[in-house]
């Protein structure tokens, strides 16, 4: 069994935490824009379906291998976040109006792909 060093795990943990933070930010902004309460439980209620998708995207894409890669990691995490999140919302009778799907898709793309694009630009220089 190989031993994994802190130098190998730190980028993956940082990227995972960044993805979770981005999803929580998206859900917090959404709740605020709809005048819903900004309580920890309210944000968690909104975020959990998307966070399940984010975790699924990490597992399916093996994101820990190339956590900051825009393609394929970022795209896989983003798509899983949206697809799984919307399916879970539908199964739990939460809203999945077409306009919400579009806004959620664009917003999460900006957040989940945006930080990776920014990191790529910074590391190229």
Based on the structure, what is the number of domains in the chain?
1
Q: pTM of the entire structure?
A: 0.91
What is the biggest distance separating any 2 CA atoms in the chain, rounded to whole angstroms? 51
In sequence order, the 6+-apart residues with CB closer than 8 A to the CB of 46 are 27, 30, 31, 36
The 10 Å Cβ neighbour count of residue 63 is 24
- Whether 1 is covered by a domain: the verdict is no
Please report which helix (H) or strand (E) contains residue 15, including its range. Answer: helix 6-33
> What pLDDT does residue 61 have?
97
- Whether 83 is covered by a domain: the verdict is yes
Domain span at residue 48?
Answer: 6-124
The pLDDT tens digits for 84-105 are 999 999 999 998 999 999 999 9
């Amino acid at each position: 069994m190989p031993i994994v060093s802190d130098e190998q795990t730190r980028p993956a943990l940082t990227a995972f935490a960044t993805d979770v933070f981005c999803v929580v930010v998206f859900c917090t902004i959404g709740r605020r824009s709809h005048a819903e309460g900004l309580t920890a439980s309210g944000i968690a209620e909104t975020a959990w379906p998307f966070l399940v998708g984010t975790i699924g995207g990490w597992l399916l894409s093996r994101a820990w291998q190339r956590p900051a890669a825009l393609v394929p990691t970022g795209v896989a995490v983003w798509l899983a976040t949206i697809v799984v999140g919307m399916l879970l919302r539908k199964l739990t009778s939460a809203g999945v109006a077409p306009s919400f799907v579009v806004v959620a898709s664009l917003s999460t793309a900006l957040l989940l792909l945006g930080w990776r694009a920014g990191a790529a630009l910074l590391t190229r220089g």
